[in-house]
Amino acid sequence: MARRLSLDEAVDLYLDHLKVERGLARHTIEAYGRDLVRLVGFVTERGRGEVDDVTPADITDYLIDLARTGLAARSRARALVAIRGMFRHLIGERWLEADPTALIDAPKIAKRIPSVLGEDAVAKLIATPPDTPRGRRDIAMIELAYASGLRVSELVTLAAADLVLSQGFVRVTGKGQKTRLIPVGASARERLARYLADDRPALVKDPAQRAMFLTERGRPMTRQGFWKALRTYARKAGVRLPGGEVSPHKLRHSFATHLVEHGADLRAVQAMLGHADIATTEIYTHVSRARVLEQARKHPRAAK
């Protein structure tokens, strides 16, 4: 008789697969591990010790139990992703014949409509940094982030050679090592050209340094450094958001929303943002509609 696999062994097997073969980040693996250990505890109390003991009813009851504890739908959906991934892996490794999660739907998650900066607020933000080497570097970063919708990780790791000002675009390598070309508008090009000509040369300590945006020590700007600078300028400019403080990701949201509001094709916005699925980009159509409704409510007879 073939050996049966215990649930504890199954979790270890799957987490090793995520680490060694798929190369997922440590914090992601730890989150999956917590979700799976919690499941094992739940089904073990029901007398299920091996993977082929687990039934669809066990998984359904587990998700219901998570809801009873007040766990948000998004967290429950993540738990199901971890559980489904493990059972599918076990089938691939021939420890199981049937997937107990196959017919279970993920908890429905309400779409979050991101808060965005208005165009006037973006202009105030860009006008805030002082006319100093550091200030001009920061203006160039803010302008580029807003002009191109770069993720903050893409912005701070951008190589100077990837900015092609003569042709008006930036070359970006994003998630999954996929490269995309993004047009850069005239205002951002002007700020970047000045930073490149007047300020970056003085910041370069190592001739082999490839990073576009550098600190006073000649090192690449960090995500935290840019986020901190942006937050400081937003406070000085009096720019606030209902959903929290201004962040690099809010600039990305604002870039996409303003494009949609000005009639940009959704496929073009998808390409510039580097979204694999257009469904991710479609949130910006909802943002735009929400802003239209917000403005409509300001009509003098809207409340009558």
Residues labelled as active-site residues:
151, 175, 249, 252, 275, 284
CA distances from 134 to 22, 50, 183, 221 (A): 40, 60, 25, 11
CB atoms within 10 A of CB 92: 10
> What is d(CA 75, CA 20) in angstroms, rounded to the nearest whole number?
25
Beta bridge pairs of residue 6: 50
> What is d(CA 27, CA 15) in angstroms, rounded to the nearest whole number?
12
Nearest to 247, CA basis, from 224, 278, 264 = 224
> What is d(CA 286, CA 138) in angstroms, rounded to the nearest whole number?
31
CB atoms within 10 A of CB 143: 23
CB atoms within 10 A of CB 85: 18
Residue 169 phi, psi (nearest 5) = -150, 165
CB atoms within 10 A of CB 118: 14
Length of the chain: 304
> What is d(CA 268, CA 282) in angstroms, rounded to the nearest whole number?
12
CB atoms within 10 A of CB 106: 15
For residue 44, give both structure tokens. 């073990």
* Lateral strand order in the sheet of 179-183: 163-164, 169-173, 179-183
